[in-house]
Amino acid sequence: MSATTTAAYNEAADIGECKDGINSKRTLVAVERRNAVTLHFIRHAQATHNAAAEKVGRAAYYDWAHLDARLTDLGREQAQGLGATLGTTIDEIQLMVVSPMSRALETASIAFEQVPSHIPWVALECARERAGNHPCDKRRTRTELKEHFPHIDWSLIESDSDALWDTLGEDRETDGMMVARAHDLFEWIRARPETNIAIVTHSAYLSVLFNKAVRCGEGLQTWFNNAEMRSTLMQL
């Protein structure tokens, strides 16, 4: 599933602003300001903790069996389904940004398998899910992840272990901490030369981003489904 909107990033306020709601067509609305970039936001496909939560509720999030949760068989099918809907978008993408969580890495690697080989893939901590307390949101070591996903650039992941998750202990990241990470993401993108970027991330992160870090309509504020993509033209 995908949709397209326009948005504006206000440097002075360090916040984005969406001009209209989600459109059913994939055409992008022209904007007046310079430095406009097309951002495709994707939530990962179904992972084991999602499937378990449907049966046992939130207790699944505290189960160490779902440490850095991987995709289920259904999740892999969802990722393949997303890839089948991308059409010409796959040829327009200039940069792949991926959360360092396994479920996002797997989703991106499956759905965007046909992205041209010269396109860079970068793992960013600032695009990860809310950290702390839930084992499903604790990533594996950078060494392990690099071995399983060698096509991704891991140079910006500073610590081998999940230092952020470990530091929080039994606490969870606050919305304010996640808003700060969303702003870090926008600032990093603004410094990049690419103007068409896919960002594979998570539901809570996307909810905070579009409800508290970016001003926008309800079309972007609603919860993302697994393997859902929404595209926006953002002015940076």
Average pLDDT, the chain: 88
Single-letter residue type at 3: A
**Pairing state between β 229-235 and 36-43:** antiparallel
CB 95 within 8 A of CB 33: no
Q: Give the integer Cα–Cα distance in Å for 1 and 85.
A: 8
**What does the pLDDT average to over 161-165?**
97
Domain boundaries, the chain: 4-235
Locate all alpha helices (DSSP H) within the chain, ordered by sequence: 48-56, 73-85, 89-92, 102-111, 142-148, 163-168, 175-190, 203-208, 218-221
pLDDT of residue 25: 27
Mind listing the pLDDT tens digit for each residue in 85-133?
A: 999 999 999 999 999 999 999 999 999 999 999 999 999 999 999 999 9
Please name which of 117, 102, 72, 97 lies closest in space to residue 182, comparing C-alpha atoms.
97
Which residues 6+ apart lie within 8 Å of 68 measured at CB? 101, 102, 103, 135, 136, 138, 139, 140
pLDDT of residue 219: 80
The pLDDT value recorded for residue 34 is 55
Q: What angle do CA 85, 145, 166 make, to 5 degrees?
A: 115
- Residues sharing a CB contact under 8 Å with residue 30, sequence separation 6 or more, in sequence order: none
- Domain 4-235 class in CATH: alpha beta
Measured distance CA(29)–CA(22) in Å, rounded: 11
pLDDT of res. 108: 99
Apex CA 144: angle with CA 96 and CA 202, to 5°?
A: 45
Q: What is the pLDDT of residues 26-61, one digit of tens each?
A: 223 334 345 789 999 999 999 999 999 999 999 999
123: tokens are 């793992």
- How does pLDDT run across 194-208, given as a tens digit for each residue? 999 999 999 999 999
According to the model, what pLDDT value does residue 35 have? 72
